[in-house]
């Protein structure tokens, strides 16, 4: 049952395979969304300093009725923090905003500030930010640490100088957008991949080939999308504040055949992410 399934991070920490994405859930609605998700069976929540809903997500975690240790909470150091002091300060601010003593996972949101995504030289800045994560990890404020949107060269920059190796890399991963080389590299380095936008920010639901494959398996297109990234060995982070959709996204206790996985990998890339196409994570810049 997906509700009980976990991966084990290199330091032995268990991470639920399914987590609730919270990007675009407003702060005022985030606590209700977290509590609804807990009722459905979610135990893993993904927020970020940049989402401006850490307070609400923290409130949901603190008031959902479950002991803190039964929940897995992730946030992200804002992409703009590329020095030790500001990254370290931001981690303390996150803990304070969320009302938590520790986070289960904190990751660097992006190797470059968003205004210069996939450009510039931030190698030294990323090593500085990473050192802040290592320090917070050593201090017991974070149970695990990782990165997001890191390509091979960004990972190598950290791996060549770190005391603690990145435990996860959260990347854009969905049917029609599968970077197999990066997946393989992360696996070889013992870095767990987390799939963000597993439903292509909703755009996958408009794709006829995905709909047809979902029909073949008797599941919804959203559930097929979630199952696809799980089959690749990644964490799935579908976002919704709708309890019916939350429930639907847990209906993934089936497997996709190897042949159908190959067919799904070959689906032509989704060309537009609609109203958010201009965001760096979707436009590549």
Ligand X SMILES: NC(=O)c1ccc[n+]([C@@H]2O[C@H](COP(=O)([O-])OP(=O)(O)OC[C@H]3O[C@@H](n4cnc5c(N)ncnc54)[C@H](OP(=O)(O)O)[C@@H]3O)[C@@H](O)[C@H]2O)c1
**Residue 147 tokens, joined:** 């990165």
Look up 51 and say whether it is catalytic.
yes
CB of 54 to ligand X, least distance (A): 12
Q: Residue 272: which of 200, 184, 199 has the closest Cα?
A: 200
CB of 43 to ligand X, least distance (A): 15
What is the CA angle 122-74-137, rounded to 5? 70
Interaction of residue 112 with ligand X, rule CB under 6 A: no
Stretch that binds ligand X, among 31-39, 119-127, 239-247, 259-267 (CB under 6 A): 239-247
Candidate list 10, 202, 233, 243; residue touching ligand X; CB under 6 A: 202
Provide φ and ψ at 160, rounded to 5°.
-75, -15
238 binds ligand X (CB under 6 A): yes
Q: Does 49 bind ligand X (CB under 6 A)?
A: no
Q: Give the CA-trace dihedral at 162, 166, 172, 178, to 10 degrees.
A: 100
Q: Which of residues 123-142 bind ligand X (CB under 6 A)?
A: none
Please give the Cα distance from 178 to 51 (Å, whole number): 25
Smallest separation, CB 200 to ligand X (Å) = 6
The DSSP H or E segment spanning 86 is helix 84-98
Q: How far apart are CA 113 and CA 108, in angstroms?
A: 11
22 near ligand X (CB under 6 A): yes
Interface positions with ligand X (CB under 6 A)? 21-23, 46, 109, 148-149, 170, 196-202, 205, 220, 222, 237-242, 245, 248-249, 281
The catalytic site residues sit at: 51
């Amino acid at each position: 049952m997906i509700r009980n399934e976990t991966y084990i991070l290199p330091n032995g920490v268990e991470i639920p395979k399914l987590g609730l994405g919270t990007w675009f859930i407003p702060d005022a609605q985030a606590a209700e969304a977290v509590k609804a998700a807990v009722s459905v069976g979610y135990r893993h929540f993904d927020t970020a300093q940049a989402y401006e809903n850490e307070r609400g997500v923290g409130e949901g975690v603190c008031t959902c009725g479950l002991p803190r240790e039964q929940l897995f909470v992730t946030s992200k150091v804002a992409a703009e923090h590329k020095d030790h002091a500001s990254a370290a300060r931001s981690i303390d601010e996150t803990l304070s905003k969320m009302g938590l003593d520790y986070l289960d996972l904190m990751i660097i949101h992006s190797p470059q500030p968003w205004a210069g995504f996939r450009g510039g030289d931030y190698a030294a800045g990323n090593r500085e930010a990473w050192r802040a994560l290592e320090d917070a990890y050593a201090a017991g404020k974070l149970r695990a640490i990782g990165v997001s949107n890191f390509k091979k060269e960004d990972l190598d920059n950290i791996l060549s100088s770190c005391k603690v190796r990145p435990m996860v890399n959260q990347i854009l991963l969905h049917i029609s957008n599968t970077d197999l080389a990066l997946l393989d590299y992360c696996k070889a380095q013992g870095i767990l991949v987390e799939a963000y936008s597993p439903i292509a920010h909703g755009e996958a639901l408009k794709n006829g080939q995905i709909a047809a494959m979902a029909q073949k398996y008797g599941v919804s297109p959203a559930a097929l999308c979630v199952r696809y990234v799980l089959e690749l060995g990644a964490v799935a982070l579908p976002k919704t504040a709708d309890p019916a959709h939350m429930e639907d996204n847990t209906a993934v206790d089936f497997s996709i055949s190897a042949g159908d996985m190959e067919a799904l990998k070959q689906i032509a890339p989704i060309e537009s992410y609609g109203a958010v196409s201009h965001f760096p994570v979707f436009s590549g810049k």
